[in-house]
A = this chain, B = another copy of it.
Amino acid sequence: MTKRTRHATLSEVAKKAGVGTTTVSRVINGGQRVDPKTLARVQLAIERLGYMPNQAARILKGDRTRTIGFVIPSIADPFFSSCAEAAQAIVRANDSVLIVLTTQNDPTAELDAVNMLMRHRVDGLIIAPCNAEDGLLGRMLGRISTPVVTLDRPIQGSAIPSILADNFAGATMATQHLIDHGYKRIVCMTRETNLYTIQERVRGYKETMKAAGLKAVVSTSVEDHVSAEKYLLKLFKSATPPQALFTLKNSTTITVFEVLQKLGIEIPSKVALLGYDDFQLADVVRPSITVVRQPIEDMGHSAAELLFKRFLSGDGISSTDGSHNRRPAQLTTKLILRDSCGCEPTSKS
């Protein structure tokens, strides 16, 4: 009754149904051009044997694998898991599956992941590269004949198309908003300045400050609660304490928020706070936190879509084909006004 070790094969089905393998193959591929009677007989055999086509054999035959690789730093990070969810929807709609691999921002793990996916002959690859100094990844990706799209971060000096949010514009908008509030001393706080996204945001902040004739101050000394407390304490004891803080990533925003609360430094009356990246309870904490929101779902969608569009236009050969280099416009971010920047509290959801 129960199959023991092995799976039933197509030819077993054929034998049981008393037909040739070709016929069975036709049946499992839609059943066109098969006599209804034969069809029924084959289907019965399939049923009884619990037959399921072996994907590996199909792939070996030269078919597409109908798999897309997705390489990200972490799947527990809400940003990336949302991207994954969005990408998965598109991939699914194209009758394929997404293989998600994580790298923990380790370039070696990243290389391994790509390697593994290539061995699996994924039809396409979406990757949010950890910014390694060495161009190893770029070189590797340049050498393969599989379509690749980078997500969130580009690969320096490569022709690989990328789906990016407009980090520069987002930071500009945020900084300008703080300036419009009348704040002069605006401090920007961040970590991981080696990341492309962070660099762009810093650039947006600096240029906007400069344009307004204000002095840009970028601090990278907030790492955890301890360092944050130490730094903020120092900052607010100075003769010219900041009037606003612009935090460039989620964890920094939250850490700073907590420490300010603990130190009794009131937001926004004592200091305004604006964070890059929206997060779950940003509008539930008090005061609610004004943020720059990225079009996360869009990014996941677009990356996957770009991949499938590329499939259609060619055979997936593109490393040498420079015609697709039109870099797609960066996706626009949005300023979500809440209370921490000093805006009047408005009606809540």
Residues on A facing B (Cβ under 8 Å): 2-5, 7, 50, 52-57, 59-60, 65, 74-76, 78, 81-82, 84-85, 88, 97-102, 115-116, 118-121, 143-145, 225, 254, 257-258, 261-262, 279-281, 284-286, 315, 317, 319-320, 348-349
CB distance A85 to B78 under 8 Å?
Answer: no
A148 and B118 alpha carbons, distance in the complex (Å): 27
Q: Which residue of B lies closest to A74 (CB)?
A: B85
CB distance A317 to B4 under 8 Å?
Answer: yes
CB distance B75 to A121 under 8 Å?
Answer: no
A261 and B115 alpha carbons, distance in the complex (Å): 51
User: Which of B56, B57, B76 meets A81, CB within 8 Å?
Assistant: B76
CB contact under 8 A between A119 and B53, given known A60-B60, A262-B348, A284-B285: yes
User: Which residues of B sit under 8 angstroms from A121, Cβ to Cβ?
Assistant: 7, 54-56
User: Which residues of B sit under 8 angstroms from A55, Cβ to Cβ?
Assistant: 56, 119-121
CB distance A284 to B262 under 8 Å?
Answer: no
CB contact under 8 A between A54 and B60, given known A76-B78, A85-B74: yes
User: Which residues of B sit under 8 angstroms from A262, Cβ to Cβ?
Assistant: 348
Q: Which residue of B lies closest to A4 (CB)?
A: B317
